[in-house]
Structure 1
Amino acid sequence: MNELSAVGVMSGSSLDGLDICYCDYNYFESKWQFQNLNGETIPFPRDIYGLLLKARDLSGEELAKLDVRLGMWMGQMIRDFCRRHDYLPQIIGSHGHTVFHHPKQGYSIQIGSGQAIASYANIPTINDFRSKDVLLGGAGAPLVPIGDKHLFSAYDVCINLGGIANLTINCEELPRAFDVAPCNQVLNKIAHRMGMPFDQDGKMGRSGTFLKSWYTSLETPHFYQKKGPKSISNEWVEQEVLSTLPAREDPRDLAYTYCKFVGDRIAESLLEVDFNTVLVTGGGTHNRALLDTLEEALGVKIVVPKAEIINFKEALIFSFMAVLKLRKEVNVLKSVTGAFEDSSSGVYYSP
């Protein structure tokens, strides 16, 4: 199985839509290569979107129904995507949509039934990539570093500006990775105050000014002083940041200040790292204000790759994790999650 084709699907915390990508993998001379990457982002149906927004507050039975409903829809979307492009993938890797993430209590719950996906797409599916690591004492996150290690090793640091900003340090003997700060979840919430789903091209942030007092209050949670491995849950973002957004400040000033906050936290996380090359992906790469503040904070030129990698890197890596699981190889690294051992994680479902 040195040549495999796979589909990856990712539903991020920003709820921008379902990312679906296809990729061909080749293992040659002890190195992984990928090609023919193609992806689409499909908006959630209004009913599913509304339920995902309040998923943490649903009853047990309502959440079970949503799990299956989401999986059925995901399977249909994958099937249609593959038919449009004449793809015949051998495996699907699905992250699912995170509802609860409490690794210290032994669980991390993502919905989007793996069996429903496999059945409706008619393709074997692997999901639930976090549970095994959590039960091995890990944080169940981050998972992306396995892909950074094998597919993007040319870069010293890989930064993802998604709903939550996280990074992987590739330039040390053992990869390290961790969540840094809430990112697009907060910036999108600020944009909503201007009647926009997100800050298009960072125009809001680029026209804002610095709010020192709010910036100082953002620094207070103990999380930012902790060393990795560490991860951020959606509940934490709601409690520590979104619920404390100043009500009377100009949204443009909030956007600029928060962009600077994210850039500074990332730079602070890399103070003791000797790095030169930095790859930046995720939805935040479309925000010029965020990129400008990040580049200024880091003091190096950042690399923004082609659009397919920007938009679908996380989905790509979940397809890669499924390939590794299919080969019974390590796909979650203890050096980044804090687990007792590396693991080959995920649950396999036949159509």
Structure 2
Amino acid sequence: MIKNNFKVIGVMSGTSLDGIDLIYASFNKSTHWEYAIIYSETVAYSSYWLSVLKQLVSNSKKELQDIDQAYTDYLAIQIQQFIGRYEITDIDAVCSHGHTALHEPDNGFTYQIGNLPKLASLLNETVVCDFRVQDVKLGGQGAPLVPIGDDILFSNYDFCLNLGGFANVSTEVSGDRIAFDVCPINIVLNHYTQKIGLAFDDGGKLASTGTVNTSLLQQLNGLAFYKAEYPKSLGLEWVIQEVFPLIDKEDLPVQDILRTFVEHFAIQISNILPKSKEATLLITGGGAYNTFLIERLKTLSGCKIIIPEPALIEYKEALIFGLLGILKLRGEINCLKSVTGAKKNHVSGVIYSGSK
């Protein structure tokens, strides 16, 4: 008999490097899946790990393997401490995304650190992880993976937009869930605010004082990625190769860079949304707190924008990776070809058993 009630720990680390998102959640299925986030927190990265994770794309394969070992140890400690802080005893599985080191699906390659078998033995728990690799082997982008969770848990919204390191959107077209990365966002904004000693642009206040540089804006909007059809996804490598050089050659004040990039973001998102006040757009991820960015999007898109409660803003991805793990345990499809471009819908991820 297939189990319908689960309590899991969901673990997510994104490219914006905000930290490790951890949730303890319950999932119950009757006619449909219902969830409750019981505990949640984000563990900020130390300066050491921030430095290491920012430079992942420049490491050799051997160096990445060594980092993977160390990061898996580090991740196990953070999960163990989370379990201890909240005195959690009932765990069906730890469902973890890991942290993306390299993502080159067009070359048939993606690599997330922190997904080693020893994570299960260190935690003494069942671990479900490494959700992207199989999809890439099946010809898919390996991303985004969250949209099946949008379909199962949040289908009452016309569009789901996540604003993390990258902005990605999911919606339904002709009965199929489709999704794709739209453009970079926090991975770029944070990069430039950190140059002046700020972790991020709180509420977009600094961006709001800047001026749009029309030359840079036109160059950003002209990048070939935006003309490509979905499925499509982005990685840090693309930002380093395509975006940072365009921005840096203009030699602009940081506030003008931020203002121009916010405008670029708002244009790219509004380009893929219908011009309808009836269309509903659920926004989650750290960018939902960027008031100025949301204001620009409201002005250009015309959609009805919904900003949910903080727990869902901050932990929706960790929540859905918990669901992806459950679907894997149940042997049910958790990766959609309509989203990633893979040859078929499939049950993705690997299961590692702890020693208990």
> TM-score, with normalisation over the residues of structure 2?
0.94
Give the direction of change, closer, same or farther, for the CA distance of 1:121–1:141 in structure 2 (3 Å limit).
same
Greater shift in the superposed pair: 243-252 or 187-196: 243-252
1:1-351 → structure 2 map (5 Å cutoff): 1-29=3-31, 31-87=32-88, 88-170=90-172, 172-246=174-248, 248-271=251-274, 276-351=279-354
Listed one character per residue, the Cα deviations across residues 277-316 of structure 1 (whole Å, up to 9, x for unaligned) are 1100001011111111111121123100111111111111
Greater shift in the superposed pair: 225-234 or 53-62: 53-62
Contact 1:256 1:289 in 2 (8 A): no
- 1: CA distance between counterparts of 2:138 and 2:309? 36
Contact 2:276 2:302 in 1 (8 A): no
Aligned to 1:263, what secondary structure does the other structure show?
A: helix
Contact 1:114 1:126 in 2 (8 A): no
> TM-score, with normalisation over the residues of structure 1?
0.95
- 2: CA distance between counterparts of 1:316 and 1:208? 36
Aligned to 2:118, what secondary structure does the other structure show?
A: helix
- 2: CA distance between counterparts of 1:308 and 1:167? 19
Listed one character per residue, the Cα deviations across residues 41-87 of structure 1 (whole Å, up to 9, x for unaligned) are 11223333322222222233321121111111111111111121122
Q: Kindly state the Cα deviation for residue 37 of structure 1 after the two structures are TM-superposed.
A: 4.0
Contact 2:169 2:181 in 1 (8 A): yes
Contact 1:70 1:113 in 2 (8 A): no
The letter of the residue matching 2:82 is: F
Q: Kindly state the Cα deviation for residue 275 of structure 1 after the two structures are TM-superposed.
A: 6.0
The letter of the residue matching 2:217 is: Y
Aligned to 2:29, what secondary structure does the other structure show?
A: strand
- 1: CA distance between counterparts of 2:304 and 2:211? 24
- 2: CA distance between counterparts of 1:280 and 1:93? 23
RMSD: 1.7
Sequence identity of aligned pairs in percent?
39
Q: Kindly state the Cα deviation for residue 172 of structure 1 after the two structures are TM-superposed.
A: 4.5
Give the direction of change, closer, same or farther, for the CA distance of 1:324–1:259 in structure 2 (3 Å limit).
same
Please list every run of 5 or more consecutive structure 1 residues that lacks an aligned counterpart in the other structure.
Answer: none
Listed one character per residue, the Cα deviations across residues 290-345 of structure 1 (whole Å, up to 9, x for unaligned) are 11111112112310011111111111111110000000000000111111110100
Contact 1:114 1:125 in 2 (8 A): no
- 1: CA distance between counterparts of 2:13 and 2:239? 17
Equivalent pairs counted in the alignment come to 350
- 2: CA distance between counterparts of 1:274 and 1:136? 38
Contact 2:275 2:302 in 1 (8 A): no
Greater shift in the superposed pair: 159-168 or 248-257: 248-257
